[in-house]
């Protein structure tokens, strides 16, 4: 028995999923410092929209007594130690890791900085704060820039890219970020529950749509018409229909897909999110300026990333309120359209862990893919707990814990929610870097030629057909069905 336990512990120490859960929970625990009167992560740097480069990075907590660059340097060292410990146990070459991680971190930092130039990253309602007349409003552009630069290095500087790959761990980075994300979603859920009940009830309908309508249709299209294997079709369906990168990676882990699959899908998803950010808010303004809450719900259902959906909601909020004031003479209160977009997205996100568990069970019980124990033994219909556990993405445990802990604290003691927010903001500042390094690493490890051979053209086709063929319009219809006639309070 002791030998079995020792082997299990050794496997856990070499498992990237477990490390993502542990490191994410560690960051979350440190972020709880303000709740106990200790600001442990106040020195962490945050990436901000800027006109003055000196203000691109600054400590999350004002008054900690260090400069923006010092906080950035401290953040680098902190993340280096965390990922370095995990990489050592996983079996990395530590010299290559140190060089590779240092390059990846600082290149990601540069990309985030470029993406946050006010002319690129400021939402329309914030341009006046920066003294500018216009902005693209692309709050996630830094991630796209990071991925593009990673692609350039990964496909044109092959020897250098190969050296860096020891530290390029896109799945580890994004999984840590997802664990931390659980706390942020919990706080948003608490805020939402403090709002009108009618909005919450309608937000729950988003879960039904995303999981029970979008998912099976996208899966069917991918399997039947584009001949993808279940290994490809399931993460593809989750990424397109649920929550973009997070859902694709959670699903890929649950069904034990090859790591390259969610990585490739993540690259496609983030590009489509950028396209949606460029198009949908202005389309919503043109079609729905008299139905603002419908527009907000539509952004939450249609844009398949958290940051993208919230950014689209903020842009839509500004555009519709401006047009309503000029053409209808109605001055709606700021933030309600954004709130609906955020609430809708949050209700979808909450069930990522549940969906990963459901798929882990399905892939264990039925012979869906040739690598499953059921397919190899022919014992269909018998639930093998070990197989379910092996398939279950362990980092989802961390995601669920961060969500449940903060949510329960907020429910039991609502007055303490304000104490939680500073620490969550600090943890989220770290999450920004983990997400950025993920997208840089995605580009770095993606060979475009091999990617095309794996079916990139078909992936883009499925995404385009699903998104523009029915997801946008079904989402618009359901948003109209539940939010039509509801308007924000006027100022």
Q: In this structure, what token pair is assigned to residue 370? A: 């040739």
Spatial CB neighbours of 276, under 8 Å, sequence gap ≥ 6: 302, 303, 304, 308, 312, 467
Backbone phi and psi for residue 440, each to the nearest 5 degrees, phi listed first: -65, -45
Distance set, CA 300 to CA 227, 246, 292, 297, 318 (Å): 30, 15, 13, 5, 16
Rounded Cα distance between 383 and 392, Å, is 14
User: What is the structure's pLDDT at 207?
Assistant: 66
> Given the structure tokens 């092959």, which residue do they identify?
158
Could you give the 3-state DSSP secondary structure of residue 195? coil
Rounded Cα distance between 37 and 20, Å, is 27
Backbone phi and psi for residue 353, each to the nearest 5 degrees, phi listed first: -65, -40
Distance set, CA 97 to CA 162, 227, 451 (Å): 12, 38, 25
Paired strand residues for 332: 490
Burial class (CB in 10 A: 0-12, 13-18, 19+), 248: buried
Q: Which long-range contacts (CB under 8 A, 24 or more apart) does 323-332 make?
A: 323/285, 323/289, 324/289, 324/290, 324/292, 327/289, 328/289, 328/290, 330/490, 331/490, 331/491, 332/292, 332/487, 332/488, 332/489, 332/490, 332/491
Q: In this structure, what token pair is assigned to residue 102? A: 């240092």
Q: What is the dihedral of CA 136, 296, 416, 422, to 10 degrees?
A: -10
* DSSP symbol at 489: P
* pLDDT tens for the chain, residues 1 to 491: 455 455 455 566 778 888 999 999 999 999 999 988 899 999 999 999 999 999 999 999 988 889 999 999 999 999 999 999 999 998 889 999 999 999 999 999 999 999 999 998 887 767 888 989 888 777 678 888 898 899 899 889 989 999 998 999 887 898 898 889 888 878 876 765 655 455 556 666 666 766 778 889 999 999 999 988 898 999 999 888 877 777 888 888 888 888 778 877 877 887 788 788 778 988 999 999 899 999 998 998 888 876 678 778 877 888 898 888 888 888 888 777 877 887 777 777 777 777 888 888 888 777 676 655 445 545 544 555 666 677 677 888 888 899 889 989 888 888 888 888 899 999 999 999 998 998 898 888 877 776 666 667 888 899 899 989 988 998 898 888 888 888 888 87
Q: In this structure, what token pair is assigned to residue 158? A: 């092959």
Could you give the 3-state DSSP secondary structure of residue 378? coil
> Given the structure tokens 């946050």, which residue do they identify?
116
Rounded Cα distance between 246 and 171, Å, is 10
Could you give the 3-state DSSP secondary structure of residue 178? helix
User: What is the structure's pLDDT at 4?
Assistant: 44
Q: pTM for the full model?
A: 0.74
Spatial CB neighbours of 255, under 8 Å, sequence gap ≥ 6: 230, 231, 234, 235, 359, 360, 363, 368, 369, 391
Rounded Cα distance between 177 and 335, Å, is 26
Q: In this structure, what token pair is assigned to residue 426? A: 């600090």
Spatial CB neighbours of 370, under 8 Å, sequence gap ≥ 6: 376
Do residues 422 and 385 lie in contact, with contact meaning Cβ atoms separated by under 8 Å? no
Q: What is the DSSP string of 397-442?
A: HHHHHHHHHHHHHHHH-GGGHHHHHHHHHHHHHHHHHHHHHHHHHH
Spatial CB neighbours of 409, under 8 Å, sequence gap ≥ 6: 35, 416, 417, 420
User: What is the structure's pLDDT at 149?
Assistant: 93
Nearest of 358, 352, 350, 438 to residue 391 by alpha carbon: 358
């Amino acid at each position: 028995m002791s030998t079995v336990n020792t082997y299990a512990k050794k496997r856990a120490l070499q498992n990237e999923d477990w490390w993502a859960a542990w490191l994410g929970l560690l960051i979350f625990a440190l972020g709880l410092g303000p709740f106990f009167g200790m600001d442990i992560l106040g020195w962490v740097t945050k990436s901000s929209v800027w006109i003055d480069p000196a203000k691109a990075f600054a400590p999350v907590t004002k008054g900690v007594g260090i400069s923006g660059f010092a906080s950035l340097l401290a953040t680098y060292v902190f993340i280096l130690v965390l990922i370095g410990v995990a990489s050592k146990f996983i079996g990395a070459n530590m010299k290559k890791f140190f060089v590779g991680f240092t390059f990846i971190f600082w290149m990601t930092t540069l990309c985030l900085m470029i993406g946050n130039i006010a002319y690129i990253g400021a939402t329309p309602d914030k341009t006046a704060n920066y003294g500018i007349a216009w902005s693209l409003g692309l709050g996630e552009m830094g991630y796209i820039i990071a991925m593009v630069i990673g692609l350039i290095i990964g496909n044109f500087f092959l020897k250098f890219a190969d050296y860096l790959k020891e530290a390029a761990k896109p799945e580890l980075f994004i999984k840590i970020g997802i664990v931390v994300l659980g706390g942020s979603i919990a706080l948003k859920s608490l805020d939402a529950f403090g709002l009108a009940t009618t909005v919450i009830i309608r937000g729950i309908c988003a879960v039904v749509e995303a999981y029970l309508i979008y998912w099976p249709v996208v899966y069917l299209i991918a399997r039947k018409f584009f001949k993808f294997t279940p290994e490809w079709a399931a993460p593809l369906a989750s990424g397109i229909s649920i929550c973009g990168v997070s859902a694709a990676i959670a699903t890929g882990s649950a069904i034990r897909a090859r790591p390259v699959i969610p990585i490739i899908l993540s690259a496609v998803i983030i590009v489509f999110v950028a396209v949606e950010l460029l198009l949908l808010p202005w389309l919503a303004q043109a079609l729905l300026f008299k139905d603002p809450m419908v527009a907000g719900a539509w952004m939450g259902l249609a844009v398949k990333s958290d940051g993208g959906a919230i950014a689209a909601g903020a842009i839509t909020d500004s555009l519709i309120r401006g047009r309503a004031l000029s053409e209808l003479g109605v001055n709606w209160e700021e933030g309600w359209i954004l709130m609906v977009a955020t609430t809708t997205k949050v209700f979808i996100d909450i069930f990522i862990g549940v969906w990963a568990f459901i798929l882990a069970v399905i892939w264990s019980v039925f012979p869906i893919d040739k690598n499953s124990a059921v397919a190899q033994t022919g014992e269909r219909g018998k639930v093998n707990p070990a197989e379910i556990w092996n398939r279950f993405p362990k980092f989802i445990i961390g995601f669920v814990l961060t969500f449940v802990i903060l949510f329960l604290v907020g429910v039991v003691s609502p007055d303490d929610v304000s104490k939680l927010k500073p620490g969550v903001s600090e943890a989220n500042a770290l999450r920004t870097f983990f997400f950025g390094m993920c997208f840089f690493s995605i580009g770095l490890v993606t060979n475009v030629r091999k990617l095309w051979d794996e079916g990139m053209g078909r992936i883009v086709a499925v995404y385009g057909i699903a998104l523009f063929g029915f997801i946008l319009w079904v989402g618009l219809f359901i948003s109209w069905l539940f939010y039509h006639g509801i308007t924000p309070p006027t100022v």
